[in-house]
Amino acid sequence: MLEFSVKSGAPEKQRSSCLIVGVYEARKLSEAAETIDKSSGGYLSAITRRGDMEGELGDTLLIHGVPNIQAERVLLVGLGKEREFDLPALLKATTAAVKALHYRGTTECVSHLTELDIRGVELEQILRQSALAIDAAIYRFDQLKSSPDPAPRRPLRKVTFITPSRRGLLEAENAVREAMAISSGIALTKNLANLPPNLCTPSLLADHARKLTETHPHLAVEVLDQSRMETLGMHALLAVAKGSTEAPKLIVMEHLGGEADTPPIVLVGKGVTFDSGGISLKPGLDMDQMKYDMAGAAAVIGLISIVAELKLPINVVGIVPTVENMPSGNALKPGDIIKSMSGQTIEVLNTDAEGRLILCDALTYAKRFKPELVIDMATLTGACVIALGRVPSGLFSNTRSLAQELIRAGETSGDRVWELPLWDEYQAQLKSNFADMANIGGREGGALTAAAFLARFTKDYKWAHLDIAGTAWVTGDNKGATGRPVALLSEFLIKRARG
Ligand code: BES
Ligand code: MN
Ligand code: ZN
C-alpha cells in the first residue's frame, strides 16, 4: 500500500526524485511536459525529436539531467492519441509509469498525469482510480514463497498527484484518503482470496473477521458455529458442510455508523473455501481455482474493513456463510432432500450447486436485520462466465432502482456489471417432483436459474445478486484475485453515505 497525497503547482518547481509527465502520439508534449521543455531550453523536445519517445500508450523513458527543474529526473510516459485519451488510457499509462519506477530505486515521485482533463470524468475518480491502479500494479502475493521473486531494493512508497488547480484541493485530499482505505480493503480481499485452501478455511475467515475489531473496535463481529446454525434450522448450509472435516461458520459483522434506527445495508458473500463439487465431483482440470470460491466472502470482509476505516455514517451488516464442499462418506448426496431455514425444502440434484444452498440460509438470516436492501456477491455459476465472459459481473435484482444504482456505480468505478433477467419464467426449470424445488435448473440459462433459486428466499426485501464467477480472479500467467466487486460496492456505499 502506497501513501498518496495531492498538490497543485508548476512542474519545474516540484522537488522530487522523479517527475512523471505525459507525451501524446506523435511526440506531442502534454502541458506539463511543454512547461518543462520551455524552462529547460528544449531538453525534452530534443529527445522526442530523436525518436526516443513517440507517445505510444504505456511507453516510458527515464531522463536525467534536465536543466532548470527541481526534480532529479523526469519520466516521460506515452499517452497514446490525444483524441482517444480516456480513463482506461490514463490508468494504463499510470500503471506503466509506476512499474518503470518501482525497480529503479525511486521511493517517491510526483505525477502530473492526474491533471490531464478527461471529458465526463470527475477529478475524484481520476485520483481514486489512479491510486487503485498503482497499488494493483505493484501488488504481489508471495508470502508463501521461500525466496520471493526479486523484490525491488528500494520500492516506491509515496506518490504525489498534481491536480489541475488549487480549487477543489480539499475534495481531492478526501478522494485520496478514501482511495487509500478502498485500496487496503481490496488488498485484504485479494490476500484472503489468494490464500491456498489448506490455509484459508472457514475458521480462518472467521479469525480474520474477528481481527477487524482490533483495528476497528466499533465493529461487532459474531461467529455462529454449527450448533447455533442447527438451532436456527440452517440445514441447507449445514448439508454442504457435511462432507468436510472443516467446521462451517456463519460470520456476522456489523458497522453501525448511522442512526440507530435506520435499516442497514446487508452484504452477503459466498464463502466456499474450496469447491470440489462434493459427490458431484468436478473434473480435475483447473480445480485449484476453486479455492477462489470464497471470493464473495473475501469481498464482504474487505468492504466491512473499508466502511469501518472511513467510518461511513451508514449502517452496514456483512454476512458470510462459509463452508468447504468435499466428497466423503458423510457428504451430501444427489437425491437428498433438505429443509432450508426458510422452511422451503430442496431436492439436491447436484452437490456442485452448493453456493445457492449456503446463500439461501444466509439470505433468510438477513431478514432479522430488517434491511434497507441486501446485496449478495458469489462466484455462483460457470454459466455466468459463458454468458458474459470476464468483463462485467452478472447483476440480478428484484428492484429496478437498485439495479440502476449498481449499474451506475459500476460505470463510475470501472468495476462494471451487466444486468441479466430475474424473470418468473425461469422458475419452472427448478421444479422438483419430491420437494419444493430442485437445486439445479438444467444446462440452459444456468446463471439465471441460480438467481431464480435465490429469489425464492429474498421476497421480503430489496435485493441484488452479483455473480462474480468471471470477475473475481484472472487465470493464465497473472493468475490471481482481482478484488472485484469491492471497488464497485465501495463506490455504491460512499454514494449512499453522502445521501
Ligand atoms: N463455484 C462454482 C461456480 C464456478 C465455476 C465459478 C467455475 C467459477 C468458475 C459453483 O459452485 C458451481 O459449481 N456451479 C455449477 C452449477 C451447476 C452444477 C448447476 C456450475 O456452474 O457448473
Ligand atoms: Mn460448485
Ligand atoms: Zn461453488
pLDDT confidence of 152, banded at 50, 70, 90? confident
Give, using CA atoms, the residue closest to atom 17 of ligand 1: 353
Question: Per DSSP, what are the bridge partners of residue 73?
Answer: 64
Instruction: Report which secondary-structure segment, H or E, holds 211.
Output: helix 202-215
Taking only the tens place, the pLDDT of each residue in 406-448 is 999 999 999 999 999 999 999 999 999 999 999 999 999 999 9
Per-residue pLDDT, 151:
76
Per-residue pLDDT, 27:
97
Which residues, by Cβ under 5 Å, contact ligand 2, an ion? 275, 352, 354
Question: Per DSSP, what are the bridge partners of residue 418?
Answer: 394
Per-residue pLDDT, 457:
99
Closest ligand 1 atom to Cα of 272: 1
Helix, strand or coil, per DSSP, at residue 122 = coil
Instruction: Please give the distance, rounded to the nearest whole angstrom, from the Cα atom of residue 5 to the centre of ligand 3.
Output: 40
Rounded distance between C-alpha atoms, residue 410 and residue 415, angstroms? 5
Residue 170 has pLDDT above 80, yes or no: yes
Instruction: Please give the distance, rounded to the nearest whole angstrom, from the Cα atom of residue 234 to the centre of ligand 2.
Output: 19
Catalytic residue annotation: 282, 356
pLDDT confidence of 105, banded at 50, 70, 90? confident
Residue 293 has pLDDT above 80, yes or no: yes
CB–CB of 24/85 below 8 Å? yes
Percent of the chain with pLDDT over 90: 96
State the average pLDDT over residues 486-493. 98
Residues with CB under 6 A from ligand 1: 275, 293, 350, 352-355, 379-383, 385, 440, 446, 469
Give the chain's end-to-end CA distance (angstroms, integer).
Answer: 29
Closest ligand 1 atom to Cα of 282: 13
Closest ligand 1 atom to Cα of 382: 21
State the average pLDDT over residues 208-217. 98
Per-residue pLDDT, 314:
98
Residue from 276, 282, 285, 352 to probe ligand 1 pocket by mutation (most atoms less than 8 Å from CB): 352
In the numeric block, the cell 460457470 is attached to 382
Per-residue pLDDT, 471:
99
Query: Strands, DSSP E only, in 217-296?
Result: 220-224, 249-256, 265-269, 271-275
Nearest ligand atom owner, CA of 472 = 1
Instruction: Report which secondary-structure segment, H or E, holds 317.
Output: strand 315-325
**What domains can be seen in the chain, in order of their start residue?**
3-167 (3.40.220.10), 182-498 (3.40.630.10)
Instruction: Please give the distance, rounded to the nearest whole angstrom, from the Cα atom of residue 428 to the centre of ligand 1.
Output: 20
What global pTM score does this model have?
Answer: 0.98
CB–CB of 246/201 below 8 Å? yes
Per-residue pLDDT, 433:
98
User: Minimal CA–CA distance to 246: which of 286, 210, 276?
Assistant: 276
Rounded distance between C-alpha atoms, residue 419 and residue 379, angstroms? 16
State the average pLDDT over residues 278-288. 98
Taking only the tens place, the pLDDT of each residue in 456-485 is 999 999 999 999 999 999 999 999 999 999
